Amino acid sequence: MTLQKWVFLRKLAAGFPSSRSCPTHVLRLSQSAAVNMAEESKKLAAYFAVDNSVQNNQVVGVGSGSTIVYAVDRLAERVRQEQLNIVCVPTSFQARQLILQHGLTLSDLERHPELDVAIDGADEVDAELTLIKGGGGCLTQEKIVASCSKYFVVIADYRKDSKALGQQWKKGVPIEVIPMAYVPVSRMIAKRFGGEVNLRMAISKAGPVVTDNGNFILDWKFEHAQNWKEVNTAIKMIPGVVETGLFVNMAEQAYFGMEDGSVKVRKVPIN
């Protein structure tokens, strides 16, 4: 779907006084157009990041999530067309499968403990390049791989771009915990930092979500802005916490695919 058609459908739907008076087929077309535009924006950001961040003879950390699918598509395309020598280190089972499906060279942190660049998505990115990650449940391995890279790049669509965390992403900060500790950890976080802490439940299985590491995930819905560096450190010190979805002072650059077909680039602010 073209950008012009998407804009037209949005204006058409907006022209009705309420969703009740808007014809169902118009609402469906508008919603479908929004989904298509978001996917196109993800693809824009992913392609731009791979083209501008990956060079020959590099070890690349491959993130997880829906946006990364486009990044691996483009990476595989470049490897074939340019005969690049690229080694990939995954952050999850999903990432590992993508690497293998595209015929890319798979490795791990035992063989390649230092990466040239890591590319990953995010649930939200603030003005300081602080991230919330872990909506897909892969936060721990994602953070490990990002920490091992010389350069960490984030890719996302326009919906993930925020001035402050919590502005766009309303599901809270994911926190991976040892299963036996999820209740005391939940109580301690709520008591110390406020807000609401929920055990993430699975959709296609009975019971909670289980990570690739065999752990549970808590989603902490915070009430207000925090000193994220201090909060991240404090939560990680709670016995039973494996890792948080707060990525503070880790990302070097973020690429956002925008609604108008452009790519917005954000670098770490110079203080």
Nearest of 92, 46, 41 to residue 73 by alpha carbon:
46
**Do the beta carbons of residue 26 and residue 238 sit within 8 Å?**
no
Distance CA 188, CA 225 (A): 18
Q: Are 146 and 153 in contact (CB under 8 A)?
A: no
Burial (CB count <10 Å: 0-12, 13-18, 19+), residue 146: buried
List 175's β-bridge partners, or say none.
Answer: 218, 244
Catalytic residue among 40, 124, 142, 243: 142
Structure tokens at 184: 């005391």
* Active-site residue, 39 included: no
Of 216, 248, 219, nearest to 232 by C-alpha is 248
Q: How far is CA 216 from CA 96, 149, 176, 196, 232, in A?
A: 21, 26, 6, 16, 18
Tell me how far the alpha carbon of residue 205 is from its chain's centroid. 23
User: What is the set of active-site residues?
Assistant: 142
